[in-house]
Amino acid sequence: MLSNKALVEISVPASGETFDVFIPLESRMSEVVQLVASALSDLSGGEYKASRDAVLCDADTGIIYNINMIVAELGIHNGSRLMLI
């Protein structure tokens, strides 16, 4: 069981795609944003361009996650819906 990771849905408005991704719950959000941005840039065939300005936010509320916090502290869990912008 992957108790230290969460399976989340990440939508990428720039490419109009949605991806299911495992993210580490014990990492800082700043690290996760860079990993996810790079991975989704590859998965989207380059339609989404990874940048240092990328942010992850809650797909339902639009609230941008604090990049200085640990993922688990942000309340992210299996099934969370995020958006990469």
pLDDT tens digit sequence for 33-42: 999 999 998 8
Whether the predicted model's global pTM rises above the 0.75 cut:
yes
**pLDDT confidence of 81, banded at 50, 70, 90?**
very high
Quote the domain boundaries for residue 43: 5-84
Place of tokens 């989340």: 8
CATH code where residue 30 lies = 3.10.20.90
CA dist 67 and 70 (Å) reads 8
DSSP letter for each residue of 28-61: BHHHHHHHHHHHHHHHTTTSSPP-TT--EEETTT
Evaluate if residue 10 carries a pLDDT over 60: yes
Task: Tally the domains of the chain.
Answer: 1
User: Quick check: 13 pLDDT over 60?
Assistant: yes
